[in-house]
Amino acid sequence: MQTLFDEPKQRNILTAGLALVLGNKRYIGWFWLLNLFLAILGTSAFRESAHTILDHSLYSDRLIDGFHLATLIDLLARPEFGPMITVTTPALWLACLFFLATALFLPGVFAGYGSTYRLPREDFFRACGRNLWRFIRLMIIAGIVMGIIAGLLFWANGAIATKAEESTYELLPFTLRMIGLFLIFLIMTTLRIWFDLAESDVVLNDQRAVRRSIAAGFRHTFYSLGRLLGSYVLATLTAAIILVAGLWVWIRFIPSNSVTRAFLLIQFIMLLLLIPRFWQRGIAVSYWQQRMLVPVVEVHPVEPTVVPLATAPEPAAEIPAEPGRGPDPAQET
C-alpha cells in the first residue's frame, strides 16, 4: 500500500534540510534585517556618547587610519562619556527583544519548512501566533536544562584541568582542557538537537502538550544520535569556515580606513552565517518528516456493489393438450 511522504524517506537529511533552506530564502533575509535593525538601535546610545566626544576633540585623528584599542579604552574612561550602564542597557533590552522575536517568528519558519507549498503570509503569522506561548515554554525549559548542564560541564572541565596541573607533564592540563571543551561542544549540540526536534514537533504536529514534544525529541535524538549529530556538526563547521574566510578577506583586502566596505563585508558575513543556523533547523524538520511523522494512508473511495433483490420463482407454464386427444386414463385413476 502506498503512503504519503514515502519520497522524503529516501533522501539524506543534510541535502533535504539544505533544500528546505534554499527553497525559503526569504526567511534568512527577514531575520538578517531584524538583526540589523535591532543592532542599530542597540548601538545608538554608544554612538551618541562617542559623537559627543569625538566631534570636538583630537581622539578622532587616532581612529582615521583604523581601530585603536588604547584610544577606545581612554574614550570609555572619560567622565563626559557617561556611565557604562547607559550604553549597555539598551543593547541588553534589545537582545531580550530579539529573543522574543525569535520565539515569535520561528514557528512560522518551521511551518514554512514543513509545508509542501509556498506558505502564504496569513498562514505564516497564524502559525506564529498559535505557537508563541508553546515556544516560550520550550525556550524556558531549554534554557534551564542547557544552563544547568553547561555549568556542571564547565565546572568539571576546570576541576580536571586544575587537578592535571599537579602532573609533571606540562601539556597535560591544556590537552585535557581542549578535549573537555570538545566534549562540551558535542553535548551542547546534542541538547540543541533535542529541543530543535521538540520545536518541530510542536509546530508541525500542532502539539499543545509541550512535554510530549520534549519527550519525543529526546527519544528520537538518542535513537538517531550519530546521524543527527554528524549533520549538525557539519553545519557548524560550515559556519566556522564562513567566519574564518570572511575575516581573512577583511584583513587581506579591506583597508583599515574604509568604514563603508568593512561594514558591507561584515553584514555579508552575518547574512551567510544565518544559513548554517537555518540549515540546522531544516535538518530537524527533514528528520521529523522522515521519522517522527505518522504516515497518512491514501484512502480511495470504494463504489458500492448493487446486489439484486431475490424474487420468487415464476410458476411453470402449463402445456396445452394436443387437439383431438382425450384425457389420459391413468391420470383419471
- 178, pLDDT greater than 70: yes
303 domain residue, yes or no: no
Between 1-5, 204-208, 270-274, 316-320, the lowest mean confidence (pLDDT) is in 1-5
Mean pLDDT (whole number) for 112-136 = 91
The predicted pLDDT at position 50 comes to: 76
- 130, pLDDT greater than 90: yes
- 322, pLDDT greater than 60: no
- 4, pLDDT greater than 50: no
CA 128/CA 110 separation, integer angstroms: 10
Between 32-36, 210-214, 290-294, the lowest mean confidence (pLDDT) is in 290-294
Q: Which grid cell is 239?
A: 559556519
Q: Assign 189 a pLDDT band (cuts: 50, 70, 90).
A: very high
The predicted pLDDT at position 333 comes to: 46
The predicted pLDDT at position 1 comes to: 37
Mean pLDDT (whole number) for 107-129 = 92
- 324, pLDDT greater than 80: no
- 49, pLDDT greater than 80: no
Indicate the helix (H) or strand (E) that contains 126.
Answer: helix 121-130
Residue 251 belongs to domain spanning: 8-295
328 domain residue, yes or no: no
- 60, pLDDT greater than 80: no
Indicate the helix (H) or strand (E) that contains 134.
Answer: helix 132-164
322 domain residue, yes or no: no
Over pLDDT 70: what percentage of the chain? 80
CA 219/CA 222 separation, integer angstroms: 6
308 domain residue, yes or no: no
311 domain residue, yes or no: no
What's the structural domain count of the chain? Answer: 1
CA 259/CA 257 separation, integer angstroms: 6
Task: From 71, 74, 64, select the one nearest 256 (Cα to Cα).
Answer: 64
Of 18 and 64, more confident: 18
232-272 confidence digits (pLDDT tens) = 999 999 999 999 999 999 989 888 778 889 889 999 999 99
316 domain residue, yes or no: no
Of 89 and 59, more confident: 89
The predicted pLDDT at position 284 comes to: 94
The predicted pLDDT at position 8 comes to: 43
- 304, pLDDT greater than 70: no
312 domain residue, yes or no: no
- 33, pLDDT greater than 60: yes
The predicted pLDDT at position 296 comes to: 54
Query: For 321, phi and psi rounded to 5 degrees?
Result: -70, 155
The predicted pLDDT at position 182 comes to: 95
- 161-170, 231-240, 299-308, range with greatest mean pLDDT: 231-240
**What's the mean per-residue pLDDT of the chain?**
83
The predicted pLDDT at position 47 comes to: 78
Give the DSSP per-residue string, 54-108.
HTTSTHHHHTTTS--HHHHHHHHHSGGG--THHHHHHHHHHHHHHHHHHHHHHHH
The predicted pLDDT at position 90 comes to: 80
Over pLDDT 90: what percentage of the chain? 50
Task: From 145, 137, 290, select the one nearest 211 (Cα to Cα).
Answer: 137
CA 43/CA 37 separation, integer angstroms: 10
The predicted pLDDT at position 42 comes to: 82
306 domain residue, yes or no: no
